[in-house]
Structures are given as C-alpha cells and as structure tokens.
Copies of this chain bind each other. A is one copy, B any other.
Amino acid sequence: MVSIKDIAQRAGVSISTVSYALNGSSKVTEETAARIIKIAEELNYVPHAAARSLKKRQSNIIGIFLTDFSGNFYGDLLQGVKEGLQGKGYDLIVCSGLQSHRMIPERMIDGAIILDETFADEELLQYANQGHKLVVLDRELIHPNINQVLLDNKAGASLAMDYLLEQGHDKIYVVSGPKGSYDVKQRMHAVEQVVDRSPHLEYIEISGDFTKASGEAAAKQIVDEYTRPVAVFCLNDEMAIGIYNYISNHTSLLIGDHVHLIGFDNIEIAQYVQPRLATIDYSNRKWGALASEQLLKLITGKSVDHERMYVTLVRGASVN
C-alpha cells in the first residue's frame, strides 16, 4: 500500500511537505502542491484512516445504534440522519448488537445516536463522562455531553385513547411493550391519565414486546374473552399487524367492526392492511435529521436545545 512516504520519496520532498500539500495547507507553494497531488493521484494514494484518526484523535464518523435491523421501522430514520450529515464531513455507520457497543469507548466514532435498549443508562452516562458525544432517542438522560430528541409519547397515547373514546367505548385493551422502555412508560402513563379523567372507562393491560408475535398472542386473549365489540390500543403498529394476522386467520371477527384497533408509529404497512390501521404518526425522517443536527452541535461545541418530535393522529377504518 502506498503511503505518504512513497509520495515524498518520488517527489523528492519530506513527508511533512506531502502532508501539508495533501491537506491543502497554504504553507506549501502552489506548484509543489500541484506536483505532489499529481504524484499522489498517479500512485493511487489513499490516506490510512486508522493512522490519521490515531493522530488527529477523531475519525469523522458518527454511528447510529439500533436494537436490531429487522422491523419496518428504521429506513426513513436512517435516511434522515444521513441527510442531516450530508456535506458536514461526517460519514454514517449503522451498528447493532451488544458487540458493537465497543465502537464508542474504542474511539472509532466521533459521536453516536442511540435508539437501542441494549444500552443501559449507566453505560451511556459513563461514555458521556469520558467525553463522548451522544444523542439519545429512546430515553431521558441529562448530561452536558448528551442531548435527546424524544417523541411526544404522551400526546400520542392521549390522541389514540381519545379517538377510541369518541366511539363510545368504556373498556379498552392496551397492548403494552418492553418493560424497561421509556416510550412504553410514557405511553402507559398517558393511558392512565386518560382513564383517570374518564369516569366510566376501564382499561386492561396485555403485555407485549413490540413484535408481531406478541400482537398475535394479545389477539388470542382478546378473542377468547370476546363478548361484544372491543377497543384495542397497541403501543406500536407492529403488534397491531400481529392482531390483524390473528384475527383474520383464526376468527371470523372483523377489524373496524368487532375489534376497534389503533396503533402507534404509522409504519408503511399500516396503510396497506384492510381496513387501514388507525395510528399515531410522526416523521421518522425528520426525527433522524433532528438527531444528527443535535449531535453535530454537540460535537462542534455549539449550544444545544432539547428538541421534541410532535405527533399526529391518523384516523383509519380500523376504528369505527
């Protein structure tokens, strides 16, 4: 592999001159610079990322961490992050899995966006204490090196509950999500608030884990207990899809008729199932863009403000 040293030799200059020339420093004459750059191109020179980041103490890479790659969730978010980083001199890498946590302390990346339950709060705080810059999307964490862009979960859950209430229900099944999840806590909290202020309303919590399979399990329970039309609020769309699957494969009940169903996230499938799934919408793309924007501010030492992602109700024939 050709290094700066080879170029120096061929050009008859010192390696420092080559480095300056290649980095566009004004310390070197235009003509020598041009000559050096030409030689570099001829030799097909490419800088060695590890060497450079060892010396410069930065890699110009930022990482986004996801719990897993499957699911219909991430495409637009990643696209948003990528766009937010466009032209800022940073490259994006996507990581998943416990193994990959090491990228942060091993200083392979200059900053991280976290949407990954497999990180513990303490772990993240430790990284932040070591000077790493983080943006968290799935928890609340106060630290000078951490910023957060959170969904307005409470507003979303309230919207969903109110929509079901409009239909005159007095009993609502709520299919929850992973226990530790911040989003779940927030959403459940809002559910309870709605119930508290509605005299004749009760809710039944069915525990889920945000997967389709757990949606199917929930559906089974709901169907087994079925006596009259019911309302169901799934804390995410993925589980709602599971409910569609179960209901249509194992029963003759109809969604939107016997089972009034609303989800959360507005994943793409939501608009293709019959009847259309009512849900809570927000722009994943914007979320990603906001996150990367905040992270760049953190890295460059600019002041940051805690942004919030607003949500809206998407009505659908799965309710009413």
A residues apposed to B, CB below 8 Å = 1, 44, 46-51, 53-54, 59, 63, 68-72, 74-76, 78-79, 82, 91-97, 99-100, 102-103, 105-108, 126, 130, 241, 244, 268-269, 272-274
Smallest CB gap from A59: residue in B: B50
State how many angstroms separate the Cβ of A113 from the closest Cβ of chain B: 13
Query: What is the bound-complex CA distance between A59 and B51, given in angstroms?
Result: 12
What are 26 pairs between A and B in contact, CB < 8 Å?
A1-B107, A47-B106, A48-B54, A48-B106, A49-B102, A49-B103, A49-B107, A50-B51, A68-B79, A69-B82, A70-B75, A70-B78, A72-B72, A72-B268, A74-B75, A78-B96, A82-B96, A82-B97, A91-B95, A91-B103, A92-B96, A93-B93, A93-B95, A94-B95, A241-B272, A268-B269
Query: What is the bound-complex CA distance between A108 and B72, given in angstroms?
Result: 29
Are B107's CB and A48's CB within 8 A?
Answer: yes
Query: What is the bound-complex CA distance between A46 and B106, given in angstroms?
Result: 6
State how many angstroms separate the Cβ of A219 from the closest Cβ of chain B: 15
Beyond the given A1-B130, A50-B53, please list 9 additional residue pairs across the A-B interface where CB-CB is below 8 A.
A48-B107, A49-B103, A49-B108, A50-B59, A70-B75, A70-B78, A72-B72, A74-B75, A91-B97
Are A46's CB and B269's CB within 8 A?
Answer: no
Highest count of chain B CB atoms <10 Å: which of A46, A69, A99, A102: A69
Smallest CB gap from A212: residue in B: B268
Query: What is the bound-complex CA distance between A87 and B68, given in angstroms?
Result: 17
Query: What is the bound-complex CA distance between A299 and B269, given in angstroms?
Result: 39
State how many angstroms separate the Cβ of A232 from the closest Cβ of chain B: 18
Smallest CB gap from A87: residue in B: B99
Give chain B residues whose Cβ lies under 8 Å from the Cβ of A108.
49-50
Give chain B residues whose Cβ lies under 8 Å from the Cβ of A95.
91-94
Smallest CB gap from A64: residue in B: B94
Give chain B residues whose Cβ lies under 8 Å from the Cβ of A91.
95, 97, 99-100, 102-103
Query: What is the bound-complex CA distance between A271 and B67, given in angstroms?
Result: 25
Are A69's CB and B59's CB within 8 A?
Answer: no
* A-B residue pairs, 4 tightest by C-beta: A69-B78, A94-B94, A49-B106, A46-B105
Highest count of chain B CB atoms <10 Å: which of A50, A53, A63, A79: A50
Give chain B residues whose Cβ lies under 8 Å from the Cβ of A63.
93
State how many angstroms separate the Cβ of A75 from the closest Cβ of chain B: 4
Give chain B residues whose Cβ lies under 8 Å from the Cβ of A47.
106
Give chain B residues whose Cβ lies under 8 Å from the Cβ of A126.
44
Query: What is the bound-complex CA distance between A49 and B104, given in angstroms?
Result: 10
Are A75's CB and B69's CB within 8 A?
Answer: yes
Query: What is the bound-complex CA distance between A96 and B273, given in angstroms?
Result: 30
Give chain B residues whose Cβ lies under 8 Å from the Cβ of A1.
107, 130
Are B107's CB and A50's CB within 8 A?
Answer: yes
State how many angstroms separate the Cβ of A268 from the closest Cβ of chain B: 7
Query: Which of B50, B68, B69, B272 is within 8 Å of A74, CB to CB?
Result: B69
State how many angstroms separate the Cβ of A283 from the closest Cβ of chain B: 13
Give chain B residues whose Cβ lies under 8 Å from the Cβ of A51.
50, 54
Query: Which of B44, B100, B102, B241 is within 8 Å of A92, CB to CB?
Result: B100
